[in-house]
Amino acid sequence: MSDGISSELTNELNDQLNAAIELVNSLSEKDLETFHSEDTGEEGPMTVRRLLHRINTHHKDHIQHIIKVRKKLGFPVSEVETNIAEIRASRAYLTSIIHSLSDENMNKDIEEKTDLGNLASVSAGENRYTIKRIVGHVMEMTNNRLNHIRDSIKNK
Protein backbone atom coordinates (compact mmCIF):
# COMPACT_ATOMS: atom_id res chain seq x y z
CA MET A 1 0.00 0.00 0.00
CA SER A 2 1.65 3.25 -1.03
CA ASP A 3 0.63 6.84 -0.37
CA GLY A 4 0.20 9.53 -3.05
CA ILE A 5 3.76 10.83 -3.30
CA SER A 6 5.47 7.42 -3.15
CA SER A 7 3.02 6.04 -5.70
CA GLU A 8 3.61 9.00 -8.03
CA LEU A 9 7.40 8.71 -7.63
CA THR A 10 7.26 4.96 -8.27
CA ASN A 11 5.44 5.59 -11.55
CA GLU A 12 7.98 8.24 -12.54
CA LEU A 13 10.86 5.92 -11.62
CA ASN A 14 9.32 3.12 -13.69
CA ASP A 15 8.81 5.42 -16.69
CA GLN A 16 12.41 6.56 -16.46
CA LEU A 17 13.60 2.96 -16.11
CA ASN A 18 11.68 1.96 -19.24
CA ALA A 19 13.21 4.85 -21.18
CA ALA A 20 16.66 3.87 -19.87
CA ILE A 21 16.16 0.23 -20.91
CA GLU A 22 15.10 1.33 -24.40
CA LEU A 23 18.23 3.47 -24.76
CA VAL A 24 20.68 0.97 -23.24
CA ASN A 25 19.21 -1.88 -25.29
CA SER A 26 20.14 0.01 -28.44
CA LEU A 27 23.84 0.05 -27.46
CA SER A 28 26.42 -2.37 -28.78
CA GLU A 29 29.34 -3.65 -26.67
CA LYS A 30 31.57 -1.38 -28.76
CA ASP A 31 29.38 1.66 -27.93
CA LEU A 32 30.38 1.24 -24.27
CA GLU A 33 33.87 2.49 -25.13
CA THR A 34 32.54 5.71 -26.73
CA PHE A 35 34.12 8.81 -25.27
CA HIS A 36 31.83 11.40 -23.67
CA SER A 37 34.11 13.93 -21.98
CA GLU A 38 37.33 14.49 -20.09
CA ASP A 39 35.32 14.68 -16.90
CA THR A 40 37.14 16.23 -13.99
CA GLY A 41 37.59 14.24 -10.83
CA GLU A 42 37.63 10.92 -12.67
CA GLU A 43 40.52 8.58 -13.36
CA GLY A 44 40.54 8.67 -17.16
CA PRO A 45 37.85 9.93 -19.53
CA MET A 46 34.11 9.57 -19.01
CA THR A 47 32.90 6.92 -21.46
CA VAL A 48 29.44 5.48 -22.09
CA ARG A 49 30.47 2.48 -19.97
CA ARG A 50 31.43 4.74 -17.09
CA LEU A 51 28.22 6.77 -17.39
CA LEU A 52 26.21 3.53 -17.05
CA HIS A 53 28.34 2.51 -14.10
CA ARG A 54 27.69 5.88 -12.45
CA ILE A 55 23.93 5.42 -12.80
CA ASN A 56 24.24 2.16 -10.82
CA THR A 57 26.61 3.44 -8.15
CA HIS A 58 24.53 6.60 -7.72
CA HIS A 59 21.46 4.44 -7.04
CA LYS A 60 23.45 2.41 -4.49
CA ASP A 61 24.67 5.59 -2.76
CA HIS A 62 21.21 6.99 -2.30
CA ILE A 63 19.55 3.69 -1.47
CA GLN A 64 21.91 3.62 1.52
CA HIS A 65 21.13 7.30 2.09
CA ILE A 66 17.37 6.61 2.33
CA ILE A 67 17.97 3.53 4.53
CA LYS A 68 20.02 5.71 6.91
CA VAL A 69 17.46 8.53 6.93
CA ARG A 70 14.57 6.12 7.59
CA LYS A 71 16.47 4.69 10.57
CA LYS A 72 17.13 8.18 11.88
CA LEU A 73 13.47 9.21 11.47
CA GLY A 74 12.25 6.16 13.37
CA PHE A 75 10.76 4.04 10.54
CA PRO A 76 13.65 1.77 9.56
CA VAL A 77 13.52 -0.49 6.51
CA SER A 78 12.03 -3.80 7.60
CA GLU A 79 13.33 -7.28 6.80
CA VAL A 80 10.20 -7.83 4.71
CA GLU A 81 10.96 -4.74 2.59
CA THR A 82 14.57 -5.89 2.19
CA ASN A 83 13.37 -9.32 1.07
CA ILE A 84 11.03 -7.77 -1.49
CA ALA A 85 13.91 -5.61 -2.81
CA GLU A 86 16.17 -8.66 -3.14
CA ILE A 87 13.51 -10.77 -4.87
CA ARG A 88 12.74 -7.87 -7.25
CA ALA A 89 16.46 -7.48 -8.02
CA SER A 90 16.84 -11.22 -8.73
CA ARG A 91 13.74 -11.27 -10.91
CA ALA A 92 14.91 -8.15 -12.80
CA TYR A 93 18.28 -9.83 -13.47
CA LEU A 94 16.54 -12.98 -14.66
CA THR A 95 14.17 -11.19 -17.03
CA SER A 96 17.00 -8.98 -18.35
CA ILE A 97 19.16 -11.92 -19.39
CA ILE A 98 16.37 -13.79 -21.20
CA HIS A 99 14.56 -10.79 -22.72
CA SER A 100 16.53 -10.66 -25.97
CA LEU A 101 16.59 -14.42 -26.60
CA SER A 102 14.79 -15.85 -29.62
CA ASP A 103 12.44 -18.84 -29.24
CA GLU A 104 15.09 -20.92 -31.00
CA ASN A 105 17.71 -20.01 -28.41
CA MET A 106 15.26 -20.48 -25.54
CA ASN A 107 14.61 -24.02 -26.77
CA LYS A 108 18.19 -24.94 -27.65
CA ASP A 109 19.30 -28.17 -26.00
CA ILE A 110 22.30 -27.47 -23.78
CA GLU A 111 23.27 -31.11 -24.31
CA GLU A 112 25.16 -31.42 -21.09
CA LYS A 113 22.97 -34.36 -20.19
CA THR A 114 23.85 -33.88 -16.58
CA ASP A 115 21.69 -32.75 -13.72
CA LEU A 116 21.95 -29.19 -12.53
CA GLY A 117 21.09 -28.76 -8.86
CA ASN A 118 17.63 -30.20 -8.44
CA LEU A 119 16.86 -29.73 -12.14
CA ALA A 120 17.08 -33.10 -13.87
CA SER A 121 18.64 -33.03 -17.34
CA VAL A 122 15.72 -34.89 -18.80
CA SER A 123 12.12 -34.41 -17.72
CA ALA A 124 9.23 -36.77 -18.41
CA GLY A 125 7.47 -34.54 -20.90
CA GLU A 126 10.42 -32.72 -22.36
CA ASN A 127 13.57 -34.56 -23.30
CA ARG A 128 15.55 -31.38 -23.45
CA TYR A 129 17.62 -29.30 -21.14
CA THR A 130 16.94 -25.74 -22.22
CA ILE A 131 17.01 -22.16 -20.92
CA LYS A 132 13.22 -22.24 -21.11
CA ARG A 133 13.20 -25.21 -18.72
CA ILE A 134 15.60 -23.52 -16.32
CA VAL A 135 13.32 -20.46 -16.14
CA GLY A 136 10.28 -22.73 -15.74
CA HIS A 137 12.08 -24.47 -12.90
CA VAL A 138 12.73 -21.14 -11.13
CA MET A 139 9.03 -20.28 -11.45
CA GLU A 140 7.93 -23.70 -10.23
CA MET A 141 10.22 -23.61 -7.18
CA THR A 142 9.13 -20.04 -6.41
CA ASN A 143 5.50 -21.13 -6.54
CA ASN A 144 6.24 -24.08 -4.24
CA ARG A 145 7.91 -21.80 -1.73
CA LEU A 146 5.15 -19.20 -1.93
CA ASN A 147 2.63 -21.97 -1.26
CA HIS A 148 4.69 -23.14 1.72
CA ILE A 149 4.65 -19.57 3.05
CA ARG A 150 0.85 -19.40 2.57
CA ASP A 151 0.42 -22.75 4.36
CA SER A 152 2.68 -21.70 7.24
CA ILE A 153 0.80 -18.44 7.75
CA LYS A 154 -2.59 -20.18 7.51
CA ASN A 155 -1.57 -22.80 10.09
CA LYS A 156 0.19 -20.56 12.58
The answer to whether 27 contacts another protein (rule: CB under 8 A) is: no
In the complex with another protein, the residue whose CB is nearer, 12 or 93, is 93
Count interface residues toward another protein (CB under 8 A).
8
Rule CB under 8 A: is residue 116 a binding residue for another protein? yes
Residue 41 within binding range of another protein, rule CB under 8 A: no
Inter-CA distances, 93 with 60, 65, 99, 136, Å: 16, 23, 10, 15
Between residues 35 and 126, which has the closer beta carbon with respect to another protein? 35
Nearer to another protein, 19 or 116 (CB): 116
Instruction: Write down the least CB distance from residue 31 to another protein, Å.
Output: 15
Give yes or no for residue 118 binding another protein (CB under 8 A): yes
Please identify which residue in 8, 12, 31, 42 interacts with another protein, judged by CB under 8 A.
42
Residues in the chain: 156
Among 3, 117, 125, 152, which residue sits at the site for another protein (rule: CB under 8 A)? 117
Return all residues near 116 (Cβ < 8 A) that are at least 6 apart: 129, 134
Residues sharing a CB contact under 8 Å with residue 71, sequence separation 6 or more, in sequence order: 77
What 3-state DSSP class applies to 46?
strand
Q: 139: how many CB neighbours lie within 10 A of its CB? A: 10
Q: Which residues pair with 35 in a beta bridge?
A: 47
Positions touching another protein (CB under 8 A) are 33, 42-44, 50, 116-118
